[in-house]
Chains A and B, each alone.
Chain A
Amino acid sequence: MRPMKKNGVRIDDSFAEAFPMRGTAILITAPNRRWARQAATTMTGFATSVIGCGAEAGIDCERPGNITPDGRPGARVLMFAMSSDTLQTQLVNRAGQCVLTSPGSACFADLDGTDRLPIGDQLRYFGDGWQVSKKFGDRHFWRVPVMDGEFLCEATTGLTKKAVGGGNLLLMGATFKTTMHAAELAVAAMNDVEGVILPFPGGIVRSGSKVGSKYKAMMASTNDAYCPTLRGAVATKLDEDIGCVLEIVIDGLTEEAVGEAMRAGLAAIVKLGPEHGAVRVGAGNYGGKLGPFHFHLKDLLP
Chain B
Amino acid sequence: MKPLVFTLKQEPDQRLDLAPLVPHLLDGQSAKEIAEIELQTTRERATVGDTFKIRPGSAESIRFEGGSTRLDNIGKDMKAGEIVVEGDCGKSFGRSLSGGNLVLTGECGPFAGSAMSGGRLEIAGDAGDFLGAPLEGEMEGMTGGLMIVRGNAGERVGDRLRRGTIVIEGSAGDYPGSRMIAGTLIVLGECGTLPGYLMRRGTIVLANPPELAPTFVDCGLHELAFAKVFSGLLRPESRAAARLLSRPLARFAGDMAALGKGEIFFPA
0/1 per residue, B163-177, Cβ < 8 Å to A? Answer: 111000000000000
Q: Is A150 an interface residue (CB 8 A)?
A: yes
Determine if B206 is an interface residue (Cβ-Cβ < 8 Å).
no
Chain B proximity of A182: nearest CB distance (Å): 42
For chain B, which range describes its interface: under 10, 10 to 19, 20 to 34, or 35 or more residues?
20 to 34
Complex interface: chain B residues within 8 A of A102 (CB): none
B38-46, B51-59, B63-71, B218-226 - the one binding chain A: B218-226
Please state if A70 and B182 are interface contacts (CB–CB under 8 Å): no
Q: Please tell me if the beta carbons of A136 and B165 are within 8 angstroms of each other in the complex.
A: yes
Give per-residue flags for B224-241: 1 if the beta carbon is below 8 A from chain A beta carbons, else 0: 111011111110000000
A150 to B220, CA, bound (A): 13
A153 CB → nearest B CB, Å = 10
Chain B 111-152 interface residues, beta-carbon cutoff 8 Å to A? 144, 146
Say yes or no for A157: interface residue by CB 8 A criterion.
no
* Residue among A70, A106, A143, A149 with max Cβ neighbours from chain B (10 Å): A70
Q: Are A150 and B226 in contact (CB under 8 A)?
A: yes
Q: Are A71 and B228 touching (Cβ within 8 A)?
A: yes
Contacting residue for B144 out of A29, A134, A135, A152, CB 8 A: A135
Describe A's contact surface by its main secondary structure: strand
Please name 10 further chain A to chain B contacts, defined as beta carbons within 8 Å, in addition to the given A69-B233, A133-B182, A152-B229, sorted by A numbering: A70-B225, A70-B229, A71-B246, A72-B225, A130-B261, A132-B201, A134-B226, A134-B230, A143-B224, A150-B226
3 smallest beta-carbon distances between A and B, as pairs: A152-B225, A70-B228, A106-B225
Residues of B within 8 A of A (CB): 144, 146, 163-165, 182, 184, 201, 203, 222-226, 228-234, 246, 261
- 30 CB-based A-B contacts, threshold 8 Å: A69-B229, A70-B225, A70-B229, A71-B228, A71-B231, A71-B232, A71-B246, A72-B225, A72-B228, A106-B229, A130-B261, A132-B201, A132-B203, A132-B261, A133-B182, A134-B184, A134-B203, A134-B226, A135-B144, A136-B146, A136-B230, A136-B234, A137-B146, A141-B229, A149-B222, A149-B223, A149-B224, A150-B225, A150-B226, A152-B226
